[in-house]
Chain A
Amino acid sequence: METKILNALKWSGLGFLEPLIKLIQGKEKDKNIRLVLRQIVVPVLSVFIFLGVCNFGASYLYNKERDIKIEKTRSVQGDAAAAQMAECIDSSDLSCKPNSLPSPADVKQGAISLWNDHKMISEKKSAFKEKTAAINKQRKEQGLKAITYTGRPSFVDQIITSLKTVFAGFLLAAFFAIPVGIVLGLSETLRSSINWIIQILKPVSPVVWLLLVSMVVKTVMANSDSDKAFIISFISVGFCSMWATLVNTTMGVSSVNPDYINVSKVLRLSVFSNIFKVILPASIPMIFTGLRITLSVAWMVLIAIELLAQSPGLGSFVWEEFQNGANDSNAKIIVAMFVIGFIGFMLDRVMMFIQKLISFEAK
């Protein structure tokens, strides 16, 4: 039972809690106290130090921005206006708050307001659904399209859209790069003849990929009414991120232990069983390393691509907030930054978990 819990923790990436549990049970006190200090107390402490540094930096920038603002008013409108401005700022009136790096407290406030905004919008949405339920039923019977909610998406909706895009891009990358990687890995001739193309395309910037993809998609899908922005952005994400998987799969397949290849040769395995029984299982660790890099790259470039492709998601959220310039915009951008980071971290953990499930090495 107990070992089961510990194993489950390890598997879900929470292995660092193990010494705490052991300590609570009173086992191996000295060793576990040291471990708890190192794995739990120090990391938590470092988070606080980080917040403190942020707070300090934010208030320094705030004061600087405040002085600039007052100076500016003074040079334009004179001393009286400047004094008034100083008073206004110090009374923490939102209308004349200097726009600088938000402090941790501001960020917290931003997160709360985003959450409230989300609650409000989803309420509106469900109200809209109720209202249109009857009409939509009728329209469906008449063979018409249902009326959908077209209001502003909330922060959470944006996250979900982004996840969808990244997932589609990741699948595209995996379905393209793994088979191609296997073929390249198996054939030395193909590998050396295509290598230079890969080496040249690999470092191309996400922005260029986006432009390229949109050139193609615009022509190919000229007459279709599907969501072009989504298609362009997920294909670009796929293109930018697939290289790691392609290179790793090629490497993994071409460096399968020759002993295993010999076994396959002596048994005269067919091409199909050779790939599925020998080559793939042997190169799964490498392929997964590639897939993990691919997923994190996909998530990283997604933001930039959404921003440029005008497709909804976290990227456009960040950009809109920046353009918007409301007094809590900066805080919201920082919230988005942490959400992006956290989701990226979780995605990597999920991949690690899947890898452990199917790799023979972990068994």
Chain B
Amino acid sequence: MAAFLELRNVSKSYGTGDKKVEVLKNINLTIEEGEFIAIVGFTGSGKTTLISLISGLIEPDEGEVLLKGKKITGPGPDRGVVFQNYSLLPWLSVQGNVELAVKQVFPKMSKIDRVNHSRKFIEMVNLTPALQKNPSQLSGGMRQRVSVARALAMDPEILLMDEPLSALDALTRGSLQIEIERIWNESKKTVMLITNDVDEGILLADRVIPLTPGPNATLGEEFKIGFSRPRDKAAINADSNFKKERNAIIKYLDEVGMHRSGSKGEAYALPDLQPIIKVNKLKRINR
């Protein structure tokens, strides 16, 4: 049987000529149905590019991405995406944003069912009190949760999450990590989580796969995480296996980091969440 999701020798670069940036090179990855995998990597290494390739928003230069044995040719609601910068539509309320997705994926659903379905997922991320609020009235963490609710409400076959918790403080982060694991346990979706936090990857995933620093980033040696489910954060933190696993991954990242960039130390630079909206607009206006 073909694997659920398969990337074969995928390479991707941006730009042409002198300005060409080779972002990803020879990515090979196989994910089985129901698996939870985490990709950890440095900022700018091409994690978002990887997600975009799987979601079909961009096409690989070389190689192919297969979903259930079929080549991906474009985006579709069978792959729910939690975008790094939330990407909520600011003119729709929390409910409106989720409902738009629901309406698209279940066009035959009656209005009442649609509302209830949307509310169920908003409830799941604890945002029922903010149902009618507009995204501009929400905190960064709340926006990310709406984005998660929207992706889940689409009932996708695979959930692609691009650093969904990076904008949160440590406390909220912890509780949402538990939330994500619970949701995954309930729905048994295949999940690919992009993160810059090794601990988060170990806590949630079946496998943690590091992405080496760019340019020409590729997936490194994978780490299988064998903790039983449902996972308990406190217990895992105390587990000696956790520390071993963690140190191994960090050591690996340090080595590839040094090898690639020649610089030492800043292995865990936080991804700089840029206000992409503004920057793009400015670029366009300047043009």
Residues of A within 8 A of B (CB): 254-255, 257-260, 262-263, 265-269, 273, 277-278, 281-282, 360-361, 363
8 examples of A-B residue contacts, CB within 8 angstroms: A257-B280, A266-B57, A266-B81, A267-B154, A268-B76, A268-B77, A273-B104, A281-B89
A269 touches B104 (CB 8 A): yes
B44 is an interface residue with CB less than 8 A from chain A:
no
Partner of A277, one of B77, B100, B280: B100
**Per-position contact with A for B241-267: 1 when CB-CB < 8 Å, else 0?**
000000000000000000000000000
**Chain A residue with Cβ nearest B88:** A263
- Chain A residues within an 8 Å CB radius of B74: 265
B89 touches A265 (CB 8 A): no
For the complex, what is the distance from the CA of A257 to the CA of B83, rounded to whole Å? 14
**Chain B residue with Cβ nearest A257:** B277
B55 touches A266 (CB 8 A): yes
B134 is an interface residue with CB less than 8 A from chain A:
yes
A260 touches B87 (CB 8 A): yes
For the complex, what is the distance from the CA of A361 to the CA of B90, rounded to whole Å? 8
Q: Is the interface of A mostly helix, strand, loop or mixed?
A: helix
- Chain A residues within an 8 Å CB radius of B277: 257, 259
Knowing A259-B85, A273-B104, the reply to whether A360 touches B57 (Cβ < 8 A) is no
**Chain A residue with Cβ nearest B287:** A255
B160 to chain A, nearest CB (A): 9
A258 touches B280 (CB 8 A): yes
Partner of A281, one of B91, B105, B281: B91
- Chain A residues within an 8 Å CB radius of B91: 281-282, 360
Not counting A267-B77, A360-B90, A360-B134, a sample of 7 additional A-B residue pairs whose C-beta atoms are within 8 angstroms of each other reads: A258-B280, A259-B85, A266-B57, A266-B76, A266-B80, A277-B100, A363-B134
A268 touches B75 (CB 8 A): yes
Chain B 133-176 residues near chain A, CB threshold 8 A:
134, 154
Knowing A255-B284, A255-B285, the reply to whether A268 touches B104 (Cβ < 8 A) is yes
* Across the A-B interface, the 8 shortest Cβ-Cβ residue pairs: A360-B91, A259-B87, A281-B91, A255-B284, A265-B75, A267-B104, A266-B75, A263-B87
Knowing A267-B100, A267-B101, A360-B134, the reply to whether A259 touches B83 (Cβ < 8 A) is yes
- Chain B residues within an 8 Å CB radius of A266: 55, 57, 75-77, 79-81
**Chain B residue with Cβ nearest A280:** B91
Interface size counted on chain B using CB atoms at 8 A: 28
Chain B 26-67 residues near chain A, CB threshold 8 A:
55-57
A263 touches B104 (CB 8 A): no
Partner of B57, one of A254, A262, A269: A262
- Chain A residues within an 8 Å CB radius of B55: 266
B276 is an interface residue with CB less than 8 A from chain A:
yes
- Chain B residues within an 8 Å CB radius of A273: 104
A262 touches B285 (CB 8 A): no
**Chain A residue with Cβ nearest B104:** A267
Chain B 115-137 residues near chain A, CB threshold 8 A:
134
- Chain B residues within an 8 Å CB radius of A255: 281, 284-285
For the complex, what is the distance from the CA of A363 to the CA of B134, rounded to whole Å? 9
**Chain B residue with Cβ nearest A270:** B104
Knowing A267-B100, A268-B76, A268-B77, the reply to whether A262 touches B83 (Cβ < 8 A) is yes
B14 to chain A, nearest CB (A): 14
For the complex, what is the distance from the CA of A259 to the CA of B56, rounded to whole Å? 14
A260 touches B89 (CB 8 A): yes
A184 to chain B, nearest CB (A): 15
- Chain A residues within an 8 Å CB radius of B276: 259
For the complex, what is the distance from the CA of A269 to the CA of B97, rounded to whole Å? 13
- Chain A residues within an 8 Å CB radius of B83: 259, 262-263
- Chain A residues within an 8 Å CB radius of B100: 267, 277
For the complex, what is the distance from the CA of A254 to the CA of B287, rounded to whole Å? 12
- Chain A residues within an 8 Å CB radius of B280: 257-258
B89 touches A278 (CB 8 A): yes
B217 to chain A, nearest CB (A): 21
- Chain A residues within an 8 Å CB radius of B281: 255, 257
A72 to chain B, nearest CB (A): 60
A171 to chain B, nearest CB (A): 25
- Chain A residues within an 8 Å CB radius of B285: 255
For the complex, what is the distance from the CA of A258 to the CA of B285, rounded to whole Å? 14
B19 to chain A, nearest CB (A): 19
- Chain A residues within an 8 Å CB radius of B87: 259-260, 262-263
For the complex, what is the distance from the CA of A344 to the CA of B277, rounded to whole Å? 35
